Amino acid sequence: AQSVTQPDIHITVSEGASLELRCNYSYGATPYLFWYVQSPGQGLQLLLKYFSGDTLVQGIKGFEAEFKRSQSSFNLRKPSVHWSDAAEYFCAVGPPSTYKYIFGTGTRLKVLA
Amino acid sequence: GAVVSQHPSRVICKSGTSVKIECRSLDFQATTMFWYRQFPKQSLMLMATSNEGSKATYEQGVEKDKFLINHASLTLSTLTVTSAHPEDSSFYICSAADGTEAGNTIYFGEGSWLTVV
pLDDT for A43-84, tens place per residue?
A: 899 999 998 889 999 999 999 999 999 999 999 999 999 999
Average pLDDT of B83-96? 95
Query: What share of chain A in percent tops pLDDT 90?
Result: 77
Whole-angstrom distance, CA of residue A57 vs CA of residue A44: 19
Please, which residues 56-95 of chain B have a Cβ atom closer than 8 Å to chain A?
A: 91, 93, 95
Answer for the pair B79, A26: CB distance below 8 angstroms, yes or no.
Answer: no
Q: pLDDT category, B102, cuts 50, 70, 90?
A: low
Whole-angstrom distance, CA of residue B40 vs CA of residue B111: 13
Which pLDDT belongs to residue B103?
Answer: 64
Answer for the pair A36, A85: CB distance below 8 angstroms, yes or no.
Answer: no
- Taking the Cβ of residue B31 and every Cβ of chain A, the question of whether any pair is shorter than 8 Å is answered with no
**Closest CB from A41, A43, A100 relative to B109:** A43
Distance from CA of A71 to the nearest CA of B (A): 21
Average pLDDT of B21-46? 90
Whole-angstrom distance, CA of residue A43 vs CA of residue B55: 25
The dihedral sign for the CA sequence B86, B10, B57, A98: negative
Distance from CA of B111 to the nearest CA of A (A): 5
